[in-house]
Structure 1
Amino acid sequence: DRFAQRYKAAQEQLQTWKQAKREAEHNSDQAGVQKAEHAIKEAGEAIDELDLFRKNLQSFVRSYEFLSQIISFDDPELEQLCVFAKHLHPLLRVDRLEQDEIDLSELALTHYRLTKHQEQRLPLEVQEDNADYSLRPVSEVGSGKPHDPDKKPLAEIIDRLNDLFGAEVSDEDKLHFAQGVADRIERDETVMAEVNRNSPQQLMHGQFPQRVADIVLDAMNDNEKMSMEILDNKEKGKDFAMLILQLIAGRQDGSVSAGAGQR
């Protein structure tokens, strides 16, 4: 709740001062322009700080889940923190901040289950040919930097894809899958006509989610794993349909290019 309030307040400040800057420029008020630019910078930094917190939260979960398979931390509180952070991160998505508040007062962690998917040997020894380790260490959690504003929409899409599909599939493969669905949607003139004349909320209550599901069915042979996750989970299917809308909008305004990738 505090995250949502701070994020919303920072966004409102950003919009307010952008408007103030436009008015100052119109009135040739140089002092007003400088004051507005300073406030815009502060609001932008506040938003970047919150975005970075969300990113670091996910980085902690991924690092802990990986390392805990190799090292026994024997720390129940650290395990509880990881579980809490893992469930908190999806709630901090920007598109969910405006949704109705969920009452978690009676929610309590009573138990958890670890499922063994596979077992394999991790070669950690030094390689003779290049004197390097086979397993590269994770980067320092919390050392990340705010995203480049020009790449931020794409980064947000990748974060959404990670929420939907987890870390088992690479970012490039997940983005390629989503880009392919968006490509097919854009080739459908009837659907694009609806996209261009309706709001995202209206589209999500219409036939758009079903059209996305139809295209996912067409792509099932090449993307079976992700396709089944969307088709078997109605809520995840709706989330993915909303993501596709964001991807199309990003292409139309130039913030996301077709076929773009990110590592």
Structure 2
Amino acid sequence: MRRFNDGTKKYTEAGMNGFPESQTAENFKQDKYKLLIVANKFQTGFDQPLLQAMYIDKKLGGVAAVQTLSRLNRVAPGKTTTVVLDFANEADEIEKAFKPYYEKTWLKEGTDPNLLYDYHTRLMDFHIFSDEDVENYARIYFGSSPSVDKLHAALDPIAKRFQESAVEEREKFYRELKGYVRLYAFLSQIITFTDADLEKLYQFGRMLLRKIKLPEERLPVEIQSSIDIDSYRIQKTSSGKIKLGRGEGELEPRIDTGPKSSRSEDLEPLSLIIKEMNQRFGTDFSEKDRFFIQELEAKLDANPSLESSVKVNDPENVKLTFNIVANSIVQDMCETNFKFYKHINDDLDFQKFFFSLLFDRYYKRIKGK
């Protein structure tokens, strides 16, 4: 836990360690540090070969169990064995979590992180933006007072250069930038990058993709093949006036029989979610931020592919798809609530916690249909 308040004193990771939290991973390499206490941060994606023993006192399952215990699977000089002391999980539960990945799951071809640098080189060849443009954007985005207006202003000249380039160049540039953003998003889940420039270009690219459009974007082939425009025609089925007979009519009075949908019932639980997030992460979200969550959940509910996934997959696999869809929707809602958007993007612990709560609510709604 990064922040904790017992009513008399506020405890933070930086305050208890005596150095900024950004230095935790690096300082842990020193001989004087033997134990790292983890709640969620460093549970996954932390690449430290020195880890040799793990003490577990929380429930683990599915991919989370595999990713957490795999923190020990790193080779280091003098390291000959590992040990796990688990106080919360049964051996058969852990075996069940690992089984799908043990003998029958493999990756056909490794993904080379250096491909990101190849993307960067190709993007620079278009001369649509420069490294200095990325730095200027990063100073705003990671600064103390970022805003959507400032970010858009930093990207406007780049978007203009994009629009002024040839159509073919625009298409190639768009594909390269989208490829970089997708690859970084994938690799950052399994690799801890030390090159900050990669993250800067990722944040820069994600926002730029929202500003630039390809000319006359076509529908996906699978959609086009399902539409037969030639078979549609305009046909008159009737004509004339609609006559209303004279006389008296009656209207039934409106009777309030209580809430008609679960949305009104969600108001209080959403308020509790905001309260819990503020307590856990030291945020200052208010009741008005509840509407951001409501809009996000409405967009999730309207996604037919996600709903279909619930019907044919187990919860663990559905959650992987859910996180991807939710993250994509959040990117599109950047201007709706930039503060919420930035917390989700900049704090992985916050993102995991928030998406986990959303998933539990979504899964119950879909299963309850």
Query: TM-score, with normalisation over the residues of structure 1?
Result: 0.37
The structure whose RCO (Cα within 8 Å, separation 6+) is larger is 1
Looking at secondary structure, tell me which structure has more helix per residue.
1
Query: TM-score, with normalisation over the residues of structure 2?
Result: 0.28
Bigger CA radius of gyration = 2
